Amino acid sequence: MTSPSAAASASVLDLAPVVPVVVVEDVADAVPLARALVAGGLPAIEVTLRTPAALDAIRAIAAQVPDAVVGAGTVISATNVADSVDAGARFLVSPGWTDTLLAAMKASGVPFLPGVSTTSEVVALIERGVHEMKFFPAEAAGGTAYLKSLGGPLPQARFCPTGGIGLASAPSYLALKNVGCVGGSWMLPADAVAAKDWGRIEALAREAAALR
């Protein structure tokens, strides 16, 4: 596993086998939650831009959890890109992409994973010099069978499948040659977050980190 301190030059896909996909409702939860994930062996943390607290959560984690590699997810506009990097995001993840969004992510200076769900989207990104992508929504878009099929004609593409993946299904994704890591939120059960049970989250993170 790549050291978090080397993240600026490393692939997001190689930081850990699992990237937690985090929805932060209360910014006060951001730092203890991130510390629990890092302690459990999951340093790359995707904070989705789905709540008003998201950018402040990224800012807090970036400032107070130095061993975390915090990124922004659900990035869908050039404004999202700029705001996320300004908050301290060290990588960007989008559910899909357009040329405008891709240009903004390329110009951001941080690693990024544009989202794809079709072969044509993968080919289009390869044409544009991008070889690392998010496969979303993984289970709904064909799962491991689809990704395995892509490996033959498009071996230069590597993926972080996300969407509907849990502890039981993650190993089958991680066994594929074209999968670097998976994204998921199963180590962040809502009741544990609500109870601020960071010990339970750390234990679940450790279980996920041991998948590879």
Alpha-carbon gap, residue 201 to 91, rounded angstroms? 23
pLDDT, one tens digit for every residue, the chain (212 residues): 444 444 444 688 998 999 999 999 999 999 999 999 999 999 999 999 999 999 999 999 999 999 999 999 999 999 999 999 999 999 999 999 999 999 999 999 999 999 999 999 999 999 999 999 999 999 999 999 999 999 999 999 999 999 999 999 999 999 999 999 999 999 999 999 999 999 999 999 999 999 97
> How far is Cα of residue 182 from the mean position of the Cα atoms in its chain?
8
Q: What is the pLDDT of residue 8?
A: 42
Phi-psi map region of 164: left, alpha, beta (phi>0 left; psi -120 to 50 alpha): left
* SS3 assignment, position 101: helix
- Could you say which of 121, 134, 202, 207 is catalytic? 134
Query: Which numeric CATH code is attached to 16-201?
Result: 3.20.20.70
Q: What is the pLDDT of residue 7?
A: 45
Cis peptide upstream of residue 171 (ω within 30 degrees of 0): no
Q: What is the pLDDT of residue 12?
A: 87
Per-domain boundaries in the chain: 16-201
- Is 46 catalytic? The answer is yes
- The pTM score is 0.94
- Could you say which of 25, 46, 177, 202 is catalytic? 46
- Is 134 catalytic? The answer is yes
Q: What is the pLDDT of residue 4?
A: 42
